[in-house]
Structure 1
Amino acid sequence: TRSIGLDCCPMIGFNKEKLNQEFFPDEKYKSIFICGIGYGDESKLQPRAPRLDFEDACNIL
């Protein structure tokens, strides 16, 4: 999302049962997570945390 100017934030602590009842009453689908997507206020954004290099994070067997 950042590459097209959007911010995203996965959310925790939501009631999956209530969300599923509200948005998926036919039970064909169910939620596994919530992610907010939108345009953030650049003055309030925190800098991106350091990331590990691929070689440091992965071990190919």
Structure 2
Amino acid sequence: MNEQIRTILAEDGTKTSKIRKLLLLGLTHREIADLVTRGNRGFVWNVYKRMRDEGLIVSAGT
């Protein structure tokens, strides 16, 4: 596992803040779900959707 990912996972921040940082690093929903939410991809999707709506992430379909 990448040192940058380990650092993010070790932070005292919320799950949401960790997910946001991991999404910006380019990890997939599944990878993040396995690392942060015990496989709950729905939670990761909700964070992704909010970031997309805020313009922080460009969706793959556009």
Provide TM-score, normalisation by structure 1: 0.27
Provide TM-score, normalisation by structure 2: 0.26
Greater percentage in helix: 2
Q: Which has the larger radius of gyration?
A: 1
